[in-house]
């Protein structure tokens, strides 16, 4: 199996190379050369680790990581991925039961495990660069905390993440550096992309991406959509529909990839906050990135999602995309009202990001969709608790993180300033 650049199909490398390089030399994102169909009977297991190994092994054919793939799946899927059926029958895929209480724990743990096994052919120090709008950085930091030979630089927009999110970015071992950047998430993401295309940076470091531009993030994320949809089909004999909160589109693209593999997935709803450039595209057919807008669902504050290139690759004609996908945008007021409504009617507490999925369902009115819950509400207590008028129970994993000392480095949104603080 080869991986190609979204901008040039003649750029072809192995899975291991794609994981190390992150971004293609032409600035494109790596995609599998094909999505091999897999017989559902061959996936007949309820064990997420075994399921993941079977689903992903075709992407690592003739690759260095093939022999250790099962170990990486064990690292990534070491916590439950339950579908919670609420009192009104609404189904919620809860992806927040990992170490940092966010869906990104799955991809980050798979990535760190894979990177730790890959040989360092050029002997340059390894540097994981990650921009985060809230949850990615914490998941990546936790995943790499036990690998001291790999330095990690986390860039997040100053003052635009919750206090508990910031704690998850800044409380790790010394090889993990947290940079509070003056600007928006888009500024952080721009710095990461500039570094990957900069000759000086590439001569000094072996740069590794941990954002959702990394195929090592998206491939394992296919697993929970494939597993959940197959279990749903076995029970109901109909294809599953998902409504997914999305910012940089990585989580949603993983669902589209699982659908492309032939898994029993029908429609995929995209739940957005006020950063709604994807909606404008689905209506006009013209892609116009926007500056990021600050919202209550801050991990989704992305005005120019990187993974739009992968979506364009799957569906070059937006008419084809619109046949199987719809997008809905929620305002901050919609998010607050939804959090209150869901708690009052269903006695279920949700985070602002998950609220966009519930709101989208209220507009789409699909018959029996599975809503995706991407983060634990305890990470956003300043928003959620005043709305439901009660404390949110803190999961033990998060409580442990909150007790650790933290440190951060404040910088301007400049590659030079970042470089000065890394060397």
Domains for the chain: give ranges and CATH numbers.
76-103+216-397 (3.40.50.1100)
Q: Which candidate, 266, 263, 251, places its Cα nearest to that of 227?
A: 263
pLDDT band at 69 (very low <50, low <70, confident <90, very high): very high
Please compute the mean of the pLDDT values over residues 90-101 and round it to a whole number. 96
Q: Which pLDDT value is given to residue 135? A: 75
Indicate the helix (H) or strand (E) that contains 86: none
Bin 390: left if φ > 0, else alpha if -120 < ψ < 50, else beta: beta
Q: Which candidate, 86, 140, 79, 84, places its Cα nearest to that of 115?
A: 140
Tokens of 281: 């595209």
Please say if the pLDDT value at position 118 is more than 80. yes
- As a whole number of angstroms, the distance between CA 342 and CA 352 comes to 12
Q: Which pLDDT value is given to residue 112? A: 96
DSSP output for 325-386: EEEEE--HHHHHHHHHHHHHHH-----HHHHHHHHHHHHH--SS-EEEE-B-GGGGHHHHHH
Q: Which pLDDT value is given to residue 13? A: 96
For 379, phi and psi rounded to 5 degrees? -75, -10
* Three-class secondary structure of residue 170 per DSSP: helix
Write the CA distances from 63 to 17, 49, 50, 210, integer angstroms.
9, 19, 19, 20
Which of 15-19, 118-122, 125-129, 361-365 is the least confident region?
A: 118-122
Question: What are the pLDDT digits (tens) for 377-419?
Answer: 999 999 999 999 999 999 999 999 999 999 999 999 999 999 9
Tokens of 404: 């650790």
Q: Which candidate, 69, 75, 33, places its Cα nearest to that of 54?
A: 69
Q: Which pLDDT value is given to residue 420? A: 92
Question: What are the pLDDT digits (tens) for 23-37?
Answer: 898 889 999 999 999
Please compute the mean of the pLDDT values over residues 297-308 and round it to a whole number. 91
Q: Which pLDDT value is given to residue 40? A: 93
User: Of all residues in the chain, what percent carry a pLDDT higher than 90?
Assistant: 85
Q: Which pLDDT value is given to residue 21? A: 86
User: Of all residues in the chain, what percent carry a pLDDT higher than 70?
Assistant: 100
| CB 263, CB 228: distance < 8 Å | no
Question: What are the pLDDT digits (tens) for 235-263?
Answer: 999 999 999 999 999 999 999 999 999 99
pLDDT band at 278 (very low <50, low <70, confident <90, very high): very high
Indicate the DSSP class of residue 23: B
Tokens of 168: 């998850």
Burial 228-265 (b: 16+ CB within 10 A, else e): bbbebbeeeeeebbbbbbbbbbbbbbbbbbbbbbebbb
- As a whole number of angstroms, the distance between CA 202 and CA 198 comes to 6
* Helix locations, 214-369, DSSP H: 215-236, 250-260, 277-284, 308-314, 318-324, 332-346, 352-364
Please compute the mean of the pLDDT values over residues 99-103 and round it to a whole number. 93
Please say if the pLDDT value at position 58 is more than 90. yes
Q: Which pLDDT value is given to residue 132? A: 87
Please compute the mean of the pLDDT values over residues 267-286 and round it to a whole number. 95
Write the CA distances from 31 to 35, 59, 137, 253, integer angstroms.
10, 10, 23, 11
Please compute the mean of the pLDDT values over residues 315-332 and round it to a whole number. 96
- As a whole number of angstroms, the distance between CA 129 and CA 152 comes to 6
Q: What is the mean pLDDT of the chain?
A: 94
Q: Which pLDDT value is given to residue 423? A: 65
Please say if the pLDDT value at position 62 is more than 70. yes
- As a whole number of angstroms, the distance between CA 108 and CA 212 comes to 9
Q: Which candidate, 190, 193, 220, places its Cα nearest to that of 209?
A: 193
- As a whole number of angstroms, the distance between CA 45 and CA 161 comes to 38
């Amino acid at each position: 199996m080869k991986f190609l650049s979204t901008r040039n199909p003649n750029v072809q490398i192995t899975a291991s190379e794609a994981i190390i390089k992150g971004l293609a030399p032409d600035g494109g994102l790596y995609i599998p050369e094909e999505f091999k169909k897999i017989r559902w009977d061959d996936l007949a297991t309820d064990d997420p680790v075994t399921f993941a190994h079977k689903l992903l092994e075709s992407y690592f054919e003739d690759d260095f990581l093939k022999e250790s793939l099962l170990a990486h799946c064990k690292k990534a899927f070491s916590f439950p991925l339950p579908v919670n059926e609420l009192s009104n029958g609404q189904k919620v895929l809860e992806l927040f039961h990992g170490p940092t209480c966010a869906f990104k724990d799955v991809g980050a743990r798979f990535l760190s495990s894979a990177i730790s096994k890959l040989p360092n052919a050029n002997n340059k120090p390894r540097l994981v660069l990650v921009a985060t709008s809230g949850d990615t950085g914490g998941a990546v930091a936790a995943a790499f905390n036990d690998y001291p030979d790999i330095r990690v630089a986390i860039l997040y927009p100053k003052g635009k993440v919750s206090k508990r999110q910031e704690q998850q970015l800044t409380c790790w071992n010394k090889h993990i550096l947290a940079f509070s950047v003056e600007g928006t998430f888009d500024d952080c993401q721009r710095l990461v992309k500039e570094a990957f295309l900069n000759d000086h940076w590439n001569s000094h470091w072996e740069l590794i991406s941990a954002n959702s531009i990394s195929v090592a993030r998206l491939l394992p994320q296919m697993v929970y959509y494939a597993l959940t949809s197959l279990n749903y089909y076995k029970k109901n004999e109909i294809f599953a529909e998902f409504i997914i909160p999305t910012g940089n589109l990585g989580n949603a693209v993983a669902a589209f990839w699982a659908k492309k593999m032939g898994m029993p997935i029908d429609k995929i709803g995209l739940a957005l906050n006020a950063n709604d450039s994807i909606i404008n595209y689905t209506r006009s057919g013209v892609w116009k990135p926007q500056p990021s807008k600050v919202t209550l669902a801050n991990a989704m504050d992305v005005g120019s999602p990187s993974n739009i290139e992968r979506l364009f690759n799957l569906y070059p004609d937006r008419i084809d995309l619109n046949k199987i996908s719809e997008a809905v945008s929620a305002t901050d007021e919609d998010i607050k009202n939804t959090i209150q409504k869901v708690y009052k009617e269903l006695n279920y507490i949700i985070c602002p990001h998950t609220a966009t999925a519930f709101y989208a369902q209220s507009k789409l009115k699909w018959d029996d969709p599975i809503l995706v819950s991407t983060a634990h509400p305890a990470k956003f207590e300043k928003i959620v608790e005043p709305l439901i008028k009660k404390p949110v129970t803190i999961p033990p994993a998060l409580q442990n993180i909150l007790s650790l000392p933290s440190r951060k480095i404040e910088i301007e949104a400049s590659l030079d300033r970042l470089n000065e603080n890394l060397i």
